[in-house]
Chains A and B, each alone.
Chain A
Amino acid sequence: MDLLVFLYLALGMCIPGLLAVLSKNPVHAVLWVLVLIIHQAFLLYTLGSEFLAAVQIIVYAGAVLVLFLFVVYMINLRMEERWRVFVKRSSLGLLILLFFAFFFFKSLAFLTALSPHFKANLHYDLSQGTNLWWIARYLFTHYLFQFELIGVLLLVVVLGAVFLLRKLKEVEGDSL
């Protein structure tokens, strides 16, 4: 049963992924990525990390993809639909693909070899609390400082973006 579910989810990620790359309509492509991400979230859930699954849905499906859709709507990307070939040097692409595949399998072996170390180093025990509980506990105790720093980071980003959009106007007659 587990295997069946895994296979379904895996296919549910691979096929939309391919379709997202291959479809010429950008809106369709974004929607295929949405399908991909939802399957990914379920896969994470079956692996027992409910927190990551939720993050996947909220952040990627909820925020990032919506942004993508906005961008796609705002800049008119109808031109690509009429191109016959999107990428010209497909052989180069194939080479890069092969390289990454090689890299991927290598690193898989590398990570598998490291896995016992990782298990030995685990600081938490899932029988004592859920993922979410442990994450919250670490975030507000051990990593409090980093957590606050990320808050500052977000603040800076927001302030900067507002500054850039509202304050600056092009100066006429003087340029560098």
Chain B
Amino acid sequence: MVTLSLNFGSLALELFFLLSGIFIFMIDRFIKSKSYAFWLSFWVILGSMVFILFIPFGDFTRAFRIDFFSSSIKFLLLIGFFFVLLLSDTHLNNFPGLNFGEFYGLLFFSLFGIFVVLSSQDFLTLFIGLELMSIPLYFLIATQYVYRKESLEGALKYFIAGALSGGLYILFLGIVYYATGTIYFEEVSKRLAQGLLKKELLLGAVFFISALSIKLSLVPFHMWAPDAYEASPLPITAFLSGLIKFAVMAVLIKVLILAYSPLKIEIGKILIPISLLTILIGSLLAIRQDNLVRLLAYSSIAHVGYAVLGLVSGDFAGYGFSLFYMFVYLFTTIGSFGIMIYLVRANRGFLEIPNLAGICQNLPFISLLLLIFLFSLAGVPPTAGFMAKFYIFLMLVKSQYIGVAILALLVSVIGAYPYIRVIKVIYMDKGHLGYYKPTYPIFLAFSLIVATFIVILLGIYPRPMLDFIQRTLFLYISLQFLQL
């Protein structure tokens, strides 16, 4: 007889989120003032940031494991999520048509999905987690249709892309299960270590990478990104491009370490053309964009491309640099979308780049912050964007991919152009649009200042953060090898 010990302690945080989400859905009908939902989420997230430090490592069945790696990544994600909440509050106050408690409830469900993804120990849980992560987002994107009818199209595109991702993933799952008879990461890794079925599992990995590239919007699965980004409410866009991509990158790294470590060199070779094309296409298409959100969508495509370049060598230090890159990108995203939320408060038309002409005259502070974030995206020192790119290139040259590094460097020059074009419009063109100058809500100001601080601090002194990420990874990897 099979006996199961159910260790709910390790599942506590996830249950907490799930219950908060359901609670919001249950009581939302009865409460008129919607700020309760924000404050509830605010305290829940602050509480979980403390709480996560005390959650013991352990398993909940074989499928779910709390360990050092997942807890660290979860902690970083909680910080990011906290800022998304702050941005949401500002944005929803500005757009009362969206202001429902369910907005936060759905965000909680998505966070629940992310946490399941990060803790999963087998491919099936990973799959369900990915779906849990994405499905609330389909709804959240579609909410925007109260202000913008075309949003439904973007939501549908994201939904179809997600369905395609699910289909590819199931194909992968089928191949892995058919070939090895197991879905657990360690078992797959054991089979690979015995030298069995390399070809078949590599084929599976191709499908796996395709499925995840839809979430990461890598070429050739990048088409949904600009439409979905443009369609979503701004905090959700920040969530999509910052948190989701960070989480998916972390789990890709986890799978490469746990399940596919014997094949990581081959997978790296598959990733080279993908990431180079992604950077190239993201940078080129960003040039022609006139909408700030679409521009950032293409830039997000390109940036994930750079982050993936850290994975190509199969070197664990490179994995750390990729995570660092995504962390920097997370905060750049929060900052730049926070600025957009502010701009939209001033004038609904400010998401179109030509309308931004000359706003530095009346909005000097916000223009300066946008300048910092745009230079960080372009990768100019002394911002964090430079440090992140620098480490990726360092890794590439170190693992003898000098040609790849040179190509990526050249493309990064093209990639700088769209950002300096926006700066040009803001600082150097003559303005014509009338607007009033809104105040800075305390939460927005707080998140903007923190994001700026982090972006500059990591540009000048990235050491502690890098140490933290590298140590997390190395500890994790060494533990895995001890178990094997």
Contacts and interface: CB of A to CB of B under 8 A. Distances in A.
Q: Do chains A and B touch in the complex (CB under 8 A)?
A: yes
Interface of A: 110-111, 114, 117-118, 120-123, 141-146, 149-150, 152-153, 155-157, 159-161, 163-164, 167-171, 174-176
B34 to A, nearest CB: 11
A147 to B, nearest CB: 9
Interface string B133-160: 0011011001111111100000000000
Interface residues of B, number: 49
A139 B273 CA distance: 40
Contacts of A152: 18, 109, 112, 132
A70 B410 CA distance: 54
Contacts of A160: 106, 135-136, 138-139
Given A149-B129, A163-B139, A176-B348, A142 B2 contact: yes
B134 to A, nearest CB: 10
B61 A144 contact: yes
A164 B225 CA distance: 22
Given A121-B180, A123-B181, A161-B139, 6 more contacts: A120-B181, A150-B128, A159-B102, A163-B25, A171-B146, A176-B148
Nearest to B94: A174
Given A123-B181, A149-B129, A176 B147 contact: yes
Interface of A is mostly: helix
A176 B63 contact: no
26 contacts: A114-B197, A114-B200, A117-B179, A117-B180, A120-B181, A122-B181, A123-B181, A141-B2, A142-B61, A143-B124, A144-B4, A145-B60, A145-B61, A149-B132, A156-B132, A156-B135, A160-B106, A160-B139, A163-B25, A164-B139, A167-B100, A171-B97, A171-B146, A174-B147, A175-B348, A176-B148
Interface of B is mostly: helix
Interface string B97-124: 1001010011001001000100000001
B472 interface: no
Contacts of B116: 149
10 nearest CB pairs, A to B:
A121-B181, A160-B139, A171-B97, A145-B63, A145-B61, A149-B128, A176-B147, A163-B102, A141-B2, A176-B148
B437 interface: no
Nearest to A137: B2
Contacts of A167: 100, 102
Contacts, number: 110
A55 to B, nearest CB: 15
A163 B129 CA distance: 22
Contacts of B200: 110, 114
B131 interface: yes
A140 to B, nearest CB: 9
A142 to B, nearest CB: 7
Nearest to A111: B178
A73 B124 CA distance: 37
Interface string B248-289: 000000000000000000000000000000000000000000
B348 A163 contact: no
Nearest to B131: A153
Given A156-B135, A163-B106, A141 B4 contact: yes
A153 B166 CA distance: 14
Interface in B376-416: none
B344 interface: yes
A146 B124 CA distance: 7
A117 B181 CA distance: 8
B72 interface: no
A148 to B, nearest CB: 10
B64 interface: yes
Nearest to B200: A114
A100 to B, nearest CB: 14
Interface string B1-23: 01010000000000000100010
Contacts of A171: 95-97, 146-147
Nearest to A122: B181
Contacts of B22: 155
Nearest to A120: B181
Nearest to B127: A146
A173 B432 CA distance: 22
Given A145-B125, A156-B135, A176-B348, A164 B147 contact: no
Contact of B63 (A114, A146, A157, A174): A146
Contacts of B60: 145
Contacts of B203: 110
B142 A164 contact: yes
B62 interface: yes
Contacts of A156: 106, 109, 132, 135-136
B344 A176 contact: yes
A166 B75 CA distance: 35
B63 A168 contact: no
Contacts of A149: 116, 125, 128-129, 132
Contacts of A144: 4, 61
Most central of B62, B146, B348, B351 by chain A CB within 10 Å: B146
Nearest to A115: B178
